[in-house]
Amino acid sequence: MKTTAAALVRHALEQIGVRYTFGIPGVHNIELYDELRGSEQILPVLVTHECGAAFMADAISRSTNTIGVLAVVPAAGITHAMSGIGEAFLDGIPMLIVSGGIRTDLDKAYQLHDVDQQALLKPLTKATYRIENYEDAIPTVYEAYNTATGGEPGPVFIELPANLQLLTGDVSGMPDYEPPATALPLDEQAIDDAVALLRSADQPGVFVGWGARDVSSEVIRIAEHLAAPVATTLQGLSVFPGSHPLHAGFGFGRSAVPASQNAFRDCDVMLAIGTRFAEICTGSYGVAVPEKLIHIDINAEAIGANYKAAVGIHADARDAVPALADTLVSNSKARGGRPVEEQIRKDKQSYRDEWHAHDSAGRVNPCRFFDELRAQLENNAIVVADDGNHTFLTAELLTIAEGGLYLSPTDFNSMGYCVPATIACKLAEPERQVVGIVGDGAFLMTGLEAVTAASNDVGTAWFVFNDGELAQIAQAQAMPYQRRTCTSIGTLDYEAFAAATGCGHVTIPHDDALRQGIAKTLAMMAAGRPVVVDVRIDYSKKTRFTTGTVKTNLKRFDTRNKLRIVGRALVRRLRGSEG
């Protein structure tokens, strides 16, 4: 049969269950877009910038059981999207990047967009492919998908030359997709060794990351049996319900909230599931991990990379954790959990009381904001945070309920994630509430995707924490330097911006406006309208993450440099040079 490679790629994308593509059409992929327009399964979504498209594709993969797909032009489309691709790569999120490519049937140099895309994307993807002929188009997409979703997931790049899209060629058929058998063998002895360690523990603790997202019920079962406190990574905030009495908080070291610090202070056996002990979740490696560490991860290289594991289990959490739970429960008696639960409850309440007592000087107190948001949100709501000070306020002060979902950029730590990611989540999950928490600096980066939301009647909201500066970095500067540099940002008229982009607008200037402002926002969302919410936030009180991480980094300096930094800060404070 004769057909185009664009038709073949469309067939392959449909076969692997793709529901959305994100990008901008151009001369090198208009045939692919024409094919997507004819698909009854796939909706191609036009964005305002390919960076937003990549964040949208990432969010689809995080919030659904389908893979996010980019459909972009070569060269500039690729470089614009690289921040979102890099985020998916370091966070372990599957993604397919389908780009056009220069013509391979011309013997001419200096073609439009003629750059080595394979070389550009090699450091940021699990694999790169170029479709060289018609017969290989479908198998290449299937292989790329298997690579993206197999093992530790990640993005994969497919280059589709323009001439193969435009012109027809011969193929023997259009094969259906057949999933590979990819289960890792489970080491039963390692499971038994892990159970033996857990049974010997006086103060067991559980630390879970994104890799445990499909085994939440089994993690709960293990934690309850052991009466063990549970801490999560930033990505793992929705893996273990924040409302559970054994939920201690985000992280467990010097940068964690008091409930988690206290619950893990004397931990002698730790079960870590689906976490790489990376810099963010460890507060710049400021945690004390016990020697008796049980580490379960699908990436063998992550096990013991930063903290030596007494028992390492290289396995999919979906296989290892149920097996561990069954063996543990059948071979040991359940512990009573009241003392640790009561201590966690008291510590959490004390921390919230500390925030409530803070004078926000007429602006919005972060804890009161999150209290009211939690009170009005449905339990299964999707919360998307961007990168910045608001990320850690959200992690410390917002309870992610059972059935809810939390998304945030983490290891690549890219600003601009929230606005596009909320749009994608709402497109994919139209029956769920989807809200974004975004700093004013991050909002400036991708806020124009509000046009995409309005064009598609996406009922979501962005609570913009408006304080006029890049607060996370400003605080990190103020503590050691006693002054700030390049962190004050330009002003934006949010009401005018909302009107210009077709969005609703709400202003929350102080605590007394919280209840009505959030209720109005959720009502507009429910009517299918995106909403820009100007929250006049008070950032004068620092998070435990910020203070703990700065102290951790200062502590690892040698004495001479420590004295130099502290001395400089003291001199500048006395001179009143902050600002």
From first to last of its 579 residues, what are the pLDDT tens digits of the chain?
Answer: 899 999 999 999 999 999 999 999 998 899 999 999 999 999 999 999 999 999 999 999 999 999 999 999 999 999 999 999 999 999 999 999 999 987 878 887 888 788 899 999 999 999 999 999 999 999 999 999 999 999 999 999 999 999 898 888 999 999 999 999 877 899 999 999 999 999 999 999 999 999 999 999 999 999 999 999 999 999 999 999 999 999 999 999 999 999 999 999 999 999 999 999 999 999 999 999 999 999 999 999 999 999 999 999 999 999 999 999 999 999 888 887 789 999 999 999 999 999 999 999 999 999 999 999 999 999 999 999 999 999 999 999 999 999 999 999 999 989 999 999 999 999 999 999 999 999 999 999 999 999 999 999 999 999 999 987 777 777 777 667 778 778 778 889 999 999 999 999 999 999 999 999 999 999 999 999 999 999 999 999 999 999 999 889 888 888 887 677 777 777 777 777 544
In a 13 Å sphere around the CA of 48, the CA atoms on its Cβ side amount to 16
31-49 CB burial, b ≥16 within 10 A, e <16: bbbbbbeebeebebbebbb
Structure tokens at 365: 């107190």
Query: Does the 2-170 domain belong in CATH 3.30.930.10?
Result: no
Closest among 154, 432, 187 to 320, alpha carbons compared: 187
At 489 the pLDDT is 84
Give the whole-angstrom CA distance, residue 525 versus residue 459. 4
DSSP per-residue letters across 358-421: S--TTSB-HHHHHHHHHHHS-TT-EEEE-SSHHHHHHHHH----TT-EEE---SS--TT-HHHH
For residue 245, the SS3 value is coil
The partner residues of 230 in beta bridges, in order of sequence, read: 206, 247
**Domain assignments of the chain as residue spans, ordered by start:** 2-170, 188-343, 358-544
At 420 the pLDDT is 98
Give the whole-angstrom CA distance, residue 178 versus residue 263. 47
In angstroms, the Cα distances linking 179 to 129, 147, 379, 468, 571 are: 19, 11, 34, 50, 64
At 577 the pLDDT is 52
Assigned CATH topology for domain 188-343: Rossmann fold (3.40.50)
Give the whole-angstrom CA distance, residue 226 versus residue 96. 40
At 479 the pLDDT is 67
Architecture of domain 358-544: 3-Layer(aba) Sandwich (3.40)
Contacts 24+ apart (CB under 8 A), 300-304: 302/152, 302/276, 302/277
For residue 51, the SS3 value is helix
Structure tokens at 7: 């038709």
Give the whole-angstrom CA distance, residue 444 versus residue 491. 10
Give the whole-angstrom CA distance, residue 210 versus residue 350. 28
Region for residue 17 given its phi and psi (left: phi exceeds 0; alpha: psi -120 to 50; beta: otherwise): left
For residue 308, the SS3 value is coil
For residue 106, the SS3 value is coil
Same fold yes or no, 2-170 and 358-544: yes
At 578 the pLDDT is 47
> Phi and psi of 34, rounded to 5°?
-65, -40
